[in-house]
Amino acid sequence: MTTYKIAVPAITEQGLDSPISGHFGHSPMFVVSTVVDGEITNVETVTNSGHSSCAEPVMALAERGVKILIASGMGRRPYMITQEAGMTVVKAEGVTVGEVLRNYLEGNSSHMGSDSLCGGGSNHS
């Protein structure tokens, strides 16, 4: 049995129906899903508390056991911290958390590379 957790930055507390947030660090919350043998078995919403460093949201997710982070965009520093924490970062394909997760689970997503990283700031949807 293969079990892992996936986090997706979200704008609202609607679980899988929540629209994804355009930027990891400024996301109001994260939807954390547990996947067992390719099926979503649990979904929880975690508030992204204000942070003073790029490491805080990454480490909060790592403490929850997240191994895969699916995001539309993120800065170079948090990306590097995800790598140090052993997380795989995947580029989001879709507009809701559920759509993004389905695309990932069906193999329709790709790893986020340095060409997808942004310079930071809050000019994201």
For residue 111, what is the domain's CATH number? 3.30.420.130
The Cα 20–Cα 18 span in angstroms is 6
In a domain, 89, yes or no: no
Is 85 inside a domain boundary?
no
Of residues 113 and 37, the one with the higher pLDDT is 37
Q: Is residue 125 part of a domain?
A: no
Instruction: Please check whether residue 106 lies inside any domain of the structure.
Output: yes
State percent of the chain over pLDDT 70. Answer: 87
Is 79 a residue whose pLDDT tops 50? Answer: yes
Asked whether residue 20 is domain-assigned, the answer is: yes
- Segment 79-97 shows an average pLDDT of 94
Indicate if the alpha-carbon torsion angle 13, 16, 18, 23 is positive or negative: positive
Decide if 88 is inside a domain.
no
Structure-block tokens of residue 69 = 């982070």
Percent of the chain whose pLDDT exceeds 90: 67
- 60: containing domain: 3-79+96-116
Residues 37 and 4: their CA atoms lie apart, in Å, by 9
pLDDT tens-digit profile of 9-50?
999 999 999 999 987 888 999 999 999 999 999 999 999 986
In this prediction, residues 84-112 reach a mean pLDDT of 95
Number of Cβ within 10 Å of residue 114's Cβ equals 7
| pLDDT confidence band for 63 (50 / 70 / 90) | very high
Q: How confident is the model at residue 114 (pLDDT cuts 50, 70, 90)?
A: low
The total number of structural domains that make up the chain: 1
